[in-house]
Amino acid sequence: MSDVEAQKEAAGIAACEVVKTGMNVGLGTGSTVKYTVIELGRRIAEEGLEIIGVPTSIATEKLALEVGIPLADLGDLEGLDVVIDGTDEFDGDFQLIKGGGGALLREKIVAQASASMIVVADGRKKVNTLGEFPLPIEITPFSWVETKRQLSILFATEGFIGDITLRRKKELGTVSCDGVEFPANEKGGVFVTDNGNVILDCHFGASIVDPIGLETAILSKAGVAQVGLFNNMCDAVYLADPAGVQILRKN
């Protein structure tokens, strides 16, 4: 296991300390929180932990069932006690960029239903200014080129400079999404989310100084399903580095 992977595992496991019997728990998506899901499964099997989980992606749902976590639909519960999820970046105000794994819409639905949001991360994810990681925007396939054009106009007005690219996956081949044919290119076929949408990745560099205002502006555009800015949601970060895991709490 690499040093970074060991840090991810340490953070993912450490965050499980917030989970107690009787809780409804949101289960995030990603390479760090997978260790949280595995650890919760172990505690259920070995320690008698009793929880109900709500997954944020098909991949997390599959893993949770494999490790024995009972699941429920979010709408069947009266909210969640906590969600534990990963992040692609977080700043000093605990604002996040998420969506590198393509689950941003479901992740935000689950996060807004949770009384508390705990983030697990390795040391690379802490930044002074958001945006070095490309900002994901999930959009509907219908007239996606027009949605991209409208966003380009918005970003130019706001002073953001950089490319906006349609996210692709490694596999080649055409993909039909909601009646729209996306041909393969040298980067592979189009990436389609669990919701049947596509993702635009915005390469602006570390320049997002007003994530709240930017989130509002992006969500005002028709065709946008969700944006990977998670503002005023995170309560604490379990941050792992070579020295161990530290808990950063929002004041």
- Per-position pLDDT tens, the chain of length 251: 688 899 999 999 999 999 999 999 999 999 999 999 999 999 999 999 999 999 999 999 999 999 999 999 999 999 999 999 999 999 999 999 999 999 999 999 999 999 999 999 999 999 999 999 999 999 999 999 999 999 999 999 999 999 999 999 866 555 566 566 666 555 568 899 999 999 999 999 999 999 999 999 999 999 999 999 999 999 999 999 998 999 999 98
Instruction: Check which CATH number belongs to the domain holding 69 and give it.
Output: 3.40.50.1360
Same-domain status, 25 and 102: yes
Look up the pTM and report it.
0.92
107 classed as catalytic: yes
**What are residue 144's phi and psi, to 5 degrees?**
-60, -30
- The parent domain of residue 41 ranges over 3-124+231-249
Residue 129 lies in a domain: no
Residue 14 lies in a domain: yes
Same-domain status, 140 and 120: no
Can you read off the two tokens belonging to residue 167?
A: 């996210």
Q: Do 86 and 59 meet the contact criterion of CB atoms below 8 Å apart?
A: no
Q: Say how many domains are in the chain.
A: 2
Same-domain status, 156 and 212: yes
Which pLDDT score, from 0 to 100, does residue 78 have? 93
Torsion, CA 133, CA 166, CA 233, CA 56, rounded to 10 = -120
Same-domain status, 79 and 153: no
Query: Three-state SS for 74?
Result: helix
Which pLDDT score, from 0 to 100, does residue 177 have? 63
Looking from the CA of 121 toward its CB, the CA atoms found within 13 Å total 23
Same-domain status, 118 and 10: yes
**What are residue 164's phi and psi, to 5 degrees?**
-120, 120
Same-domain status, 54 and 165: no
Same-domain status, 166 and 111: no
Which pLDDT score, from 0 to 100, does residue 99 have? 97
Same-domain status, 190 and 147: yes
Q: How far is CA 220 from CA 104, 147, 163, 212, in A?
A: 17, 11, 20, 13
* Closest among 142, 121, 145 to 133, alpha carbons compared: 121
Residue 162 lies in a domain: yes
Q: Which of 107, 146, 158, 171 is catalytic?
A: 107
Residue 130 lies in a domain: no
